[in-house]
Amino acid sequence: MRPGYGRGPTPYGDAVTAQVIVLNGGSSCGKSGIARCLQAVLPRPWLAIGVDMLVEAMPAAMRASDDGIEFAADGGVLVGPEFRALELAWMAGVAAMVRAGARVIVDDVFLGGAASQDRWRQALVGLDVLWVGVRCAAEVVAGREIARGDRVGGMAASQADVVHDGVAYDMEVDTTRAESLACAREIAARVVGTEG
Amino acid sequence: MRPGYGRGPTPYGDAVTAQVIVLNGGSSCGKSGIARCLQAVLPRPWLAIGVDMLVEAMPAAMRASDDGIEFAADGGVLVGPEFRALELAWMAGVAAMVRAGARVIVDDVFLGGAASQDRWRQALVGLDVLWVGVRCAAEVVAGREIARGDRVGGMAASQADVVHDGVAYDMEVDTTRAESLACAREIAARVVGTEG
Amino acid sequence: MRPGYGRGPTPYGDAVTAQVIVLNGGSSCGKSGIARCLQAVLPRPWLAIGVDMLVEAMPAAMRASDDGIEFAADGGVLVGPEFRALELAWMAGVAAMVRAGARVIVDDVFLGGAASQDRWRQALVGLDVLWVGVRCAAEVVAGREIARGDRVGGMAASQADVVHDGVAYDMEVDTTRAESLACAREIAARVVGTEG
Amino acid sequence: MRPGYGRGPTPYGDAVTAQVIVLNGGSSCGKSGIARCLQAVLPRPWLAIGVDMLVEAMPAAMRASDDGIEFAADGGVLVGPEFRALELAWMAGVAAMVRAGARVIVDDVFLGGAASQDRWRQALVGLDVLWVGVRCAAEVVAGREIARGDRVGGMAASQADVVHDGVAYDMEVDTTRAESLACAREIAARVVGTEG
C-alpha cells in the first residue's frame, strides 16, 4: 500500500491505511461470503459493494443484448460496450464514496484479468487499496456451484483461472479448504495491522 | 431543471437534459417497479440505484444497532449516525457516477422529508435532476404490503405522508390507480421532451 | 361446492365448507399476492402452496431439459414427461395435506387449461374446492412483468388466455383494476359465507 | 432400511430401495446444498422439500405469534400449536407424494430431536427411508452463518447439538471439512448401492 496516506481525520475518526479492499475471484469462489465476514470482523463499518449490484442496477434488456452482458451456455460471460461504459462510471462512483469517507470492500470478477485491474486502478488512483486474490480449486468451485443451485452450470470453472491472469495482489486467500471467516480474519489482520 | 445544461457530448452520445431522476415515496408505493419500467421505456441505458442497495451494502450489524438502521415494531425506520455518514458517502458516489457519464434513476425513501432532499441536492449540485414524488393512498399501500408479504407490517402506512413533507417536485405520479408502466411513461415523456 | 361436506371436526376446530382454494391465472396476474392477502384476511391459518414451489423443488437440470420444464424465448413454458410425473405426485401430496386437516390455497398456472383442472380434480376428489379464475388484461400484465423485472419477457402475455381455456370456476376475480387485497376479500366472503 | 420393499414398478421404472432421504441438521450446516447436490448426482429425479418451504407456505402472521413460529433473539426457534398442526399435515402430504411415486429428499431441522423424528416416522410409515444426520462443528457453522448474512445471529450455534438429540441415523456426514458435493456422493453411494 501507498506510504504517506492516512494522516488526516475522516468522518469516522482516526485515519486507517487501507480505504478499499478489492476481492477478485471467479464466480462461486466465496468472495461475497468473505466480504460479509470482513464486515463482521473489522472494527469499523465497511460497505460491501459487488459487481452483482452493478448488474442488478443495469436495465434488464442489457443482460440479454449485444450491448450489455450475456451469460453464454458454457458459463462464460460476455460484456458489450454499453456495459463497459456504465461499469466505468460505477467504478468512478465507488471511488468517490471512498473519497467521501466510506470504507469499501469491492467484490468483483476480473473477466479481463490485468485489464480489469487497470480500470479499477485508474478509478481508485490516490487511494490506499488492498488487492486480494480469492482462489479456489476448480473442482471444488464447480461443486459449490451445484450446491448453490442458482447459477449457469460451468460459470465457475470457466472463470477459475482467467480472472487472475496478470493481476497483482497484496495477498491471496484460498477457499478450497479455508472457511470464509478464516479468510476474512487473515485479510483483516493485514488491514488492522497497518492502521496507525 | 437547470437551464444551460447539456450542451457537451457524453460517452453515450448527444447530451440530454435530465441526468438523474430521483423517485421519492414511501415503502411499497411502487418506486422500484417504476424504476424498472423507466429503464425499459427510456431510449438509452439508465442505472437504477435504490436505498435498498445501500442497506444491503451495509454491515448486517448496522441493521440492528443504535448506529445503524432499525425497523421499529410499528413499521417506522430509525437511522443512526453511522448510517447517516455512510449514506452521505453513498450519495457522493452516486453523483460521481453521473458526472462520469451514467444516467441514474435514484429510488429513495425521504424519511427526513425536506432534510433528505437537501442532502441529495448538495450531493447532486450542478447536475440536472428531475425530482419525482411517488404517491399512493395509505390504505392501498397497506394492502400491497400484505400482498408482498416481505415487509414489517405497517411500514408503508407510517411512511405514506411523512416522506413528502416539505419536498419540492418537478412532477408527481400516483400509483393508487395507475400502473407502474403508465407512471414511467409519464415521467419518460418529461425527460425525452426536454432532450435536445 | 359439494353439499354434505364439513360436518366433522378438524384439528383446527369447527368444520368449514371450503378446504381448498385453487387460484388459476397466467404469470404475473397477481395470484401469489392474492394468496398472501387471503392468508391475512381469512380467520384461520391456510397454507399457500404455489407451482413455483414445485419448480423450486425439482432438480435444477429438469428446468433445462427435454424431461423437465423449459422457458421458451417467447415466454412460453414447455413441460416434459418427468415433470408431469412429479407434478402428479405433488398434487396427490397437496390433497393429502388437506385430508390431514390443513386448509390450502393452491396457486397454479393451468398451462393445459381444462386438462390441468382435470388433474387437480382427480387429486382433490372428495374435497371441497373453491375454483377461482384470476384474470388480468394482457397489456396490464405485460407492464407488471416489466415492473417485476424477474421474468422472461412475454411469458405473461403468452399465458393470459390459454390458462383459462375450458376451465370451470366458482368465481372469477380481475386484477386489471382491483388490488390483490380487494380480490382476496371477495374470495374470502365466499369462503366464510359458506361456513356453517 | 426396511427389507421387502421395492419389488413393484413405479411410474419412473424399476423400483429402488430408498424412496425418501431425510437430512437432519442445524441451521447453516449445509443441508440444502447437499440436497441440491444429491439431485445432481442421483441418476433419477428427486424432489427436494425443506422445512423452509413449509415456513414460506405459512401465513406471515404465524411467524410472529404465539400460535406460529418465532425466532428468538438468541437464534432459538419456538413453535406453537398451530404451526405443529400444519406441520403434521405437511408431513402427511410429503409422505403421500412418495406413495404416489415421487422420490423425495426432506431437509429438516429436528428442533425436538427424537420427538421430531417420531413425527416423520409416523408420517412415512411403510416407506423406505434413509435417515442422514448432517453435522458441523459449532464454530464453523457460526462462521458460515455470518458469511451467508441472512439469518438471525446465533441460530446455528444454538441448534448445532440439540437437533441430533436421541435421533437414530442410517448414516452421518460432517460438513466441517467436507464439501456438500462430497457428502452428497457418500449418501448417493448408499442409495444407489441398495438399488436392485
pLDDT band of residue A2 (cuts 50, 70, 90) is very low
Query: Is residue D120 pLDDT above 50, yes or no?
Result: yes
Mean pLDDT, residues D3-21 taken together: 53
The pLDDT value recorded for residue B61 is 86
Per-residue pLDDT, A4: 35
pLDDT in tens, D44-65: 999 999 999 999 999 998 876 5
Question: Is C78 strand, coil or helix?
Answer: strand
User: In this model, does residue D139 exceed pLDDT 80?
Assistant: yes
Residue D36's pLDDT band (boundaries 50, 70, 90)? very high
**Residue D68: per-residue pLDDT:** 66
From CA D132, how far away is CA D107, in angstroms rounded? 10
How would DSSP label each residue in chain B? --TT---S-BTTBS--S-SEEEEE--TTSSHHHHHHHHHHHSSS-EEEEEHHHHHHHS-GGGGGSTTSEEE-TTS-EEE-HHHHHHHHHHHHHHHHHHHTT-EEEEEE--TTTHHHHHHHHHHTTTS-EEEEEEE--HHHHHHHHHHH--S-TTHHHHHTTGGGTT---SEEEETTTS-HHHHHHHHHHHHHHT--
Asked whether the predicted pLDDT for residue C10 surpasses 60, the reply is: no
* D33 pLDDT higher than 80: yes
pLDDT for res D8: 39
Q: Given an 8 Å threshold on Cβ–Cβ distance, is A59 in contact with B39?
A: yes
| pLDDT confidence of residue A61 | 85
Bridge partner residues of B104 (DSSP) = B20, B47
B140 and C179 in contact by Cβ < 8 A? Answer: yes
Cβ–Cβ gap D149/A180 under 8 Å: no
Asked if residue D79 has pLDDT above 80, the reply is: no
User: What is the per-residue pLDDT for A179?
Assistant: 96
Task: Output the pTM of the full model.
Answer: 0.86
Under 8 Å between Cβ of B195 and B44:
no
Q: Decide if A89 touches B, using CB distance below 8 A.
A: yes
Considering chain C, what is the average pLDDT of its residues? 85
- B6 pLDDT exceeds 60? no
| Model confidence band, residue D11 (pLDDT cutoffs 50, 70, 90) | very low
> Would you say residue D152 has pLDDT above 90?
no
C149 touches A at CB < 8 Å: yes
Asked which of B157-171, C93-107, C135-149, D20-34 is least confident by mean pLDDT, the reply is B157-171
Using alpha carbons, list the distances in angstroms from residue A1 to A125, A169, C114, D138: 12, 11, 68, 36
The minimum CA-CA distance between D19 and chain C, rounded to whole Å, is 13
Q: Tell me: the pLDDT tens digits for C43-78?
A: 999 999 999 999 999 999 887 655 666 566 555 666
Q: Which of residues 45-74 of C touch A (CB under 8 A)?
A: 60
Q: Is the model's pLDDT at D6 over the cut of 60? A: no
Average pLDDT, chain A: 84
Q: What percent of chain A has pLDDT over 70?
A: 78
The Cα of B174 is separated from the nearest Cα of chain D by a number of Å equal to 28
In this structure, what C-alpha cell is assigned to residue B163? 416522506
**Chain D residues within 8 A of B153 when measuring between CB atoms:** 60
Q: Is C52 a catalytic residue?
A: yes
Instruction: Tell whether the model's pLDDT for residue D19 goes beyond 70.
Output: yes
D179/A144 CB distance under 8 A: yes
Most confident of B94-103, C15-24, C75-84, D145-154: B94-103
pLDDT of residue D38: 97
Task: Specify whether the CB–CB gap between C49 and C94 falls below 8 A.
Answer: yes
User: Residue range D100-120: average pLDDT?
Assistant: 96
Position B120 pLDDT exceeds 70: yes
Mutating which of B181, B183, B186, B187 best tests the C interface, going by the most C Cβ atoms within 10 A?
B181
pLDDT confidence bin for D74, thresholds 50/70/90 = low
Is the predicted pLDDT of residue D184 greater than 60, yes or no? yes
Q: Which of D52, D118, D165, D170 is catalytic?
A: D52
Chains C, D: CB contacts within 8 A come to: 110
> Higher pLDDT residue, C71 or A87?
A87
Q: Does B38 lie at the interface with C, CB-CB under 8 angstroms?
A: no
Interchain CB contact of A37 with D (< 8 Å): yes
Contact A179, D73 (CB under 8 A): no
Instruction: Give the integer Cα–Cα distance in Å for D67 and B51.
Output: 34
Determine the Cα–Cα distance for residues C117 and C163; give it in Å rounded to an integer. 10
User: For position C78, what pLDDT does the model report?
Assistant: 64
**A82-86, B5-9, B165-169, B176-180: the lowest-pLDDT one:** B5-9
For the cut 60, the answer to whether the pLDDT of residue C150 exceeds it is yes
Q: Which of D146, D148, D183 to mutate to test the interface with A (most CBs of A within 10 A)?
A: D146
Instruction: Return the bridge partners of B48, or none.
Output: B105
* A3 has a pLDDT exceeding 50: no
Q: Does A182 touch chain D (CB under 8 A)?
A: yes
Helix axes D81-99, C81-99, angle to 10 degrees: 140
Contacts of C151 in chain B (CB under 8 A): none
Lowest-confidence pick of B42-46, B158-162, B174-178, D10-14 = D10-14
C86 touches chain D (CB under 8 A): yes
At residue D116, the pLDDT reads 95
CB nearest to C46's CB, from D47, D59, D92: D59
Quote the minimal CA–CA distance from C63 to chain D in Å: 12
* CA nearest to D142 within chain A: A181
> Residue C60: closest CA among chain A residues belongs to which residue?
A149
Residue range B19-25: mean pLDDT, rounded? 97
